[in-house]
Structure 1
Amino acid sequence: MWRFWIDVGGTFTDCLALSPTDEILERKTLSSGRIKGQARGVERDGDSIWIVDALRTSDVEDFWKDWSFDIVDEHGATTWSGKVLRSHPERGIQVTTADGDHEIAVGAGYELSSELEAPVVCIRQVLGLAMSVPVPEVDVRLGTTRGTNALLERKGARTALVTTQGFGDVLHIGSQERPHLFELSIRKSQPLCETEVEIEERIDTNGQVLKSPQAHRIREQLQQLLDDGIQSLAICFVNAFQNAEHELLVEKIARELGFSQISRSSEVAPAIKFVPRTQTTVLDAYLTPILQEYVERISRQLGNPRQFRMMTSAGGLIDARQFRGKDSILSGPAGGVIGYSQVAATAGFPESIGFDMGGTSTDVSRFGGELEIETET
């Protein structure tokens, strides 16, 4: 069975493959899944055009068939689009379009694109499989900064926090920590959740119910969130780590109403500290829909492999179907720590420092001889 280790960054995706005969192969591509090239030769063939590019000579025949083909200018803007009819390692790429009179200049830049995610493009390139050919059973281990970058760029799901009455501003208040302690003009970062809903409920520190929530009122409040276009719920009640009864009730009603993503603190982060528990739950609700959609798309394009695992922030691997937002923030960086620390140790350096500069973010880490697990960051 082929084995693949893949690191998906914000700009580039790196792939290391091991064949059943222990041959090692490498691939690197843009994380957008788009393939760039330059027309070194152009030949018209009726209503189609053959594009010759030395970068494509190692590709198997018809690998690019049915891919989209775009001519792009120096600013990256598309000036002409077509569809790949055929591709041949010697003759090039045959492209057709409704605009049969268009001429492509020698030296023009082009981009090939499809619906395939970058890891799948790498795997198909290594195996030499066109889109029409199913991918055989493979073992895939993947680390990604998709969650990290979605957080940095604020591109998560529309999220609402459902919490105990009187605590709706918990994320706005936070822990009172701030980077510039004596700054007179305090600038706080905005919470990831778009809105907050307070539920009339209360559980004491021993897990005893002090006030029970009203199901009909919860239903009304959650329905309003749905009507407002909220996609994801983060449920976090005071002392829910001792008794999850009220959180479970809200989750049940939310599922009945049709919320697709629900993160419950008593499941996501069953810990005593209310502020970090709320932050973790909201983060999970904010990122999980984005990541699950991404992982499911890769899995589907690979034919739902049985061995598909994701690197978590803790530096371990988890089944891709169980991968969620809270696991993703340091998925890519954690994989780097595991890798460079072992390489450094093999070279005789038990302690090491890692510096990984990507196209979107830069990761710096220190390995002091053994892995250290932090529960709060």
Structure 2
Amino acid sequence: MTLQTYFNKSNKLWQFWIDRGGTFTDIVAKRPDGQILIHKLLSENPEQYQDAPVQGIREVMGIPDNVPIPADKIEVVKMGTTVATNALLERKGDRTVLVITKGFGDALRIGYQNRPDIFAREIILPEMLYEQVIEVEERYNAQGEELIPVNKQQVQKDLETAYETGIRSCAIVLMHGYRYTGHEQEIVNIAKIIGFEQISVSHKVSPLMKLVSRGDTTVVDAYLSPILSRYVDQVSAQLSGNIETYLTKNISKIQTKDKNKTAFYEIINKAKSPKLMFMHSNGGLADANLFHGKDSILSGPAGGIVGAVKTSEIAGLQKIIGFDMGGTSTSRTKP
């Protein structure tokens, strides 16, 4: 039996489906015996618990607060969350610096000049997500010919200045960078050396034509990804709380000379962290490590749409309107 085969072995374990909203967190759980349980609690209650989904799992499984969650008893946790949605609406993302080709520093502010109300006398522009702008001397033409090389010394100086102000998130968007990635990658390398914790680069985040839309997506990713990363790490750590202790207690068995390695596989399987998945804005699920800011804005509402469609199919309905009213935001959908 290989290690992969052992990991893929089907077991009767707990399964959790969680919707973490801004006000309430709803949990649907499937016990090992197949029974379905439903649980609800406040999303924010810092006097009682650190995180609502984890606390909900504890309450459903009957685990005291001072006891680690038994990772070997849970198969999967699938979650939709409005953590990023609310951070965007309330402008509580991480401080971000935008790095863009010289001469285009206000391109994202100007945008496409779309006017929902063409007769409005007062145009209220949305607040930009980035705090500072660094314009870089560089340029490729549309055919990929390097017209101006990156001024690395100036870029390093400007990024260091931004870093010294406390900014740790960086969005890099250059003209034609979606196709000719060399200059963007040079700036990525400089930002890494300086110590930026989040570096979102357009040719990876949104490798598409059109500077404004590509830039907006990259900035959103830089602005929200740190918050999501911290949240995912927090949940993962609590779900895996007993792994280190378990391995420490059984280290002698792991080092066994047993020829068939049965003890080794059993210990590794029991120490394995539950599979943690998050819903993307497109309604699909992805591993927690692949959950980034640009994919998370509609994570919570997307779950409602998927559920509404499935429910309507069961009821034999073809035309529906979905209405999802939460504590922070309300979404109306027409699947």
Q: Which residue of 2 aligns with 1:334?
A: 302
Q: TM-score normalised to the size of structure 1?
A: 0.75
Q: Which residue of 1 aligns with 2:5?
A: none
Deviation of 1:306 after TM superposition, in Å, equals 4.1
Q: Structure 2 matches for 1:33-182, cutoff 5 A?
A: 33-34=45-46, 112-114=47-49, 116-137=50-71, 138=74, 139-182=76-119
Deviation of 1:207 after TM superposition, in Å, equals 2.1
Amino acid at match of 1:113: Q
Asked if the contact 2:321–2:334 (Cα under 8 Å) also holds between the matched residues in 1, the reply is yes
Deviation of 1:351 after TM superposition, in Å, equals 2.7
Q: Which residue of 2 aligns with 1:208?
A: 145
The structure where helix makes up a greater share of residues is 2
Q: Deviation per CA, 1:59-118: give whole Å up to 9, x if none.
A: xxxxxxxxxxxxxxxxxxxxxxxxxxxxxxxxxxxxxxxxxxxxxxxxxxxxx513x310
RMSD: 1.2
Residue 108 of structure 2: SS of its match in structure 1? Answer: helix
Asked if the contact 1:15–1:122 (Cα under 8 Å) also holds between the matched residues in 2, the reply is yes
Q: Which residue of 2 aligns with 1:234?
A: 171
Q: Which residue of 2 aligns with 1:309?
A: 277
Q: TM-score normalised to the size of structure 2?
A: 0.84
Q: 2:320 aligns with which of 352, 361, 368?
A: 352
> How far apart, in 2, do the equivalents of 1:254 and 1:31 lie?
35
> How far apart, in 1, do the equivalents of 2:274 and 2:17 lie?
15
Segment drifting more, 351-360 vs 232-241: 351-360
Deviation of 1:168 after TM superposition, in Å, equals 0.4
> How far apart, in 2, do the equivalents of 1:132 and 1:303 lie?
14
> How far apart, in 1, do the equivalents of 2:321 and 2:229 lie?
32
> How far apart, in 1, do the equivalents of 2:212 and 2:163 lie?
25
> How far apart, in 2, do the equivalents of 1:314 and 1:164 lie?
31
Q: Which residue of 2 aligns with 1:12?
A: 24
Unaligned runs of 5+ in 2: 1-12, 242-272
Segment drifting more, 212-221 vs 4-13: 212-221
Deviation of 1:227 after TM superposition, in Å, equals 1.0
Asked if the contact 2:240–2:274 (Cα under 8 Å) also holds between the matched residues in 1, the reply is no
Amino acid at match of 1:353: I
Q: Which residue of 1 aligns with 2:264?
A: none
Q: Which residue of 1 aligns with 2:130?
A: 193
Segment drifting more, 176-185 vs 241-250: 176-185
Residue 5 of structure 1: SS of its match in structure 2? Answer: strand
Asked if the contact 1:11–1:359 (Cα under 8 Å) also holds between the matched residues in 2, the reply is yes
Asked if the contact 1:12–1:29 (Cα under 8 Å) also holds between the matched residues in 2, the reply is yes
Deviation of 1:4 after TM superposition, in Å, equals 0.3
> How far apart, in 1, do the equivalents of 2:88 and 2:51 lie?
20
> How far apart, in 2, do the equivalents of 1:33 and 1:17 lie?
21
> How far apart, in 2, do the equivalents of 1:123 and 1:149 lie?
23
Q: Structure 2 matches for 1:204-353, cutoff 5 A?
A: 204-303=141-240, 305-353=273-321
> How far apart, in 1, do the equivalents of 2:161 and 2:35 lie?
57
> How far apart, in 1, do the equivalents of 2:197 and 2:143 lie?
32
Unaligned runs of 5+ in 1: 35-111, 368-377
